[in-house]
Amino acid sequence: MRALSDIAIVGSYETTLGVVTDRGPMALGVEATLGAIADAGLKPGDVDGLITCNSLVVPVMYHAEATAEYAGLTPGHCLSVGTGGGTTFTALRYAAAAIQTGLAHTVVVAMADSMRSFMTRDRAMMVQSSSGHPIYEQPYGPTVPAYYALIARAHMATYGTTEADFAEAMVSSRAWASLNPTAQYREPVSVDDVLNSKPIADPLKLLDCSIVSDGGAAVVLTSLDRAHHLPHPPVMVRGYGEGHHYEHISQASSLTTSAAVDSGKAALAQAGIGVGEVDLAQLYDCFSPALLIQLEDLGFCDKGEAGALLASGATRPGGQLPVNTHGGMLSHCHPGNPGAMFGLTEAIRQYRGTAGDRQLDRLEHTLLHAQGGIMSSHATLILGRGDRG
């Protein structure tokens, strides 16, 4: 069986992002699929595996198969994966495993949704209020922002974190987004701007919350020996880890420490590096407290120190730990479950040297992290630079 380190990402594509009214989730997903195949220098017939994530807005019973049909693909293997926001890296690991075991040789991972333009207000409220346990949580009326507000309050009570500390997540996000022409929101903001924005769920304000977007993205994976014959330098999969401490937040043993501790350690160990060797971190900033907890749990700082790390400017352009160089979900885009895809496509852009004003001077190891549910299902991915062979 091939080693995980023999698996390469060779194609990448993003659709138009933000507000896309002329195409729904399936059309965006098909566009991303075919675009990534073309970017890899391949033809549709070269692909024998397709992994997708279903749309929350327009769900399809056999999503991967329907995407293949729409795209004119006839892959030997189709799979739809659903682990919430963590789906991107879970699906990528399944794609790598299929290639490792010989089940497939070239696999597309594609995700898209239209949360901004195709979701009605009633549907949006149903999604926001139905993530909790149907008996023990939902009857009390919390929405997704309220769950993250609960986490924020716990972090404040435990470590003395302030609302200004949380606000630094958006300040860092906008500093990068201002350099990205595809970002949905590019205007720089200050801590005061965040603190003075509309209250959503105490202590979270509007600018502590990720934006709502339309968009899709896809990547192509294959083996390193095949990658050497394709147009782009390969981006190598070096390590992967998962962590699952609970499903429903009422069952969490801690609201301030997540299973990112487990997934991060596993991914770094498989890659054979320490967290100090990470040059770029692409993290799941669905809400500001989620970013702070991930920075701590993944080992970039001690518990309770993420706010100070962000305030220092370390994660912004020119800092020693670039985080979410595309602008993240707080500023670039967040179409729901596909949100982490854009941290992945941004990392590929950075490796290719095509990130424009955001381009990093040095990049060897990238850590990407995503989580689904309410900080419940965690996946960490380590990427490395490949050579042309």
> Which of 204-208, 351-355, 375-379, 385-389 shows the lowest mean pLDDT across its residues?
385-389
Residue 106 lies in a domain: yes
Domain count for the chain: 1
353-365 tens-digit pLDDT: 999 999 999 999 9
Residue 64 lies in a domain: yes
Residue 107 lies in a domain: yes
> CB 117: neighbour CB atoms within 10 A?
16
Residues 330, 169: Cα–Cα separation, whole Å: 8
Residue 103 lies in a domain: yes
Residue 87 lies in a domain: yes
Domain that holds residue 8: 4-118+213-227
Residue 269 lies in a domain: no
The pLDDT, as a whole number, for residue 388 is 64
Residue 324 lies in a domain: no
Residues 352, 11: Cα–Cα separation, whole Å: 11
Residue 67, domain CATH: 3.40.47.10
CB-CB contact of 21 with 117 (8 Å): yes
Q: Given pLDDT bands bounded at 50, 70 and 90, which one contains residue 119?
A: confident
Residues 270, 253: Cα–Cα separation, whole Å: 27
CB-CB contact of 191 with 169 (8 Å): no
53-111 tens-digit pLDDT: 999 999 999 999 999 999 999 999 999 998 889 999 999 999 999 999 999 999 999 99
Residue 16 lies in a domain: yes
346-355 tens-digit pLDDT: 999 999 999 9
Kindly state the average pLDDT of the residues 266-290: 98
> CB 257: neighbour CB atoms within 10 A?
17
**In the chain, which residue ranges form alpha helices assigned H by DSSP?**
25-39, 63-71, 87-100, 121-129, 144-159, 163-177, 191-195, 224-227, 260-271, 288-297, 306-311, 328-331, 341-352
Q: Given pLDDT bands bounded at 50, 70 and 90, which one contains residue 134?
A: confident
- Look at strands 377-385 and 365-372 and give their pairing: antiparallel
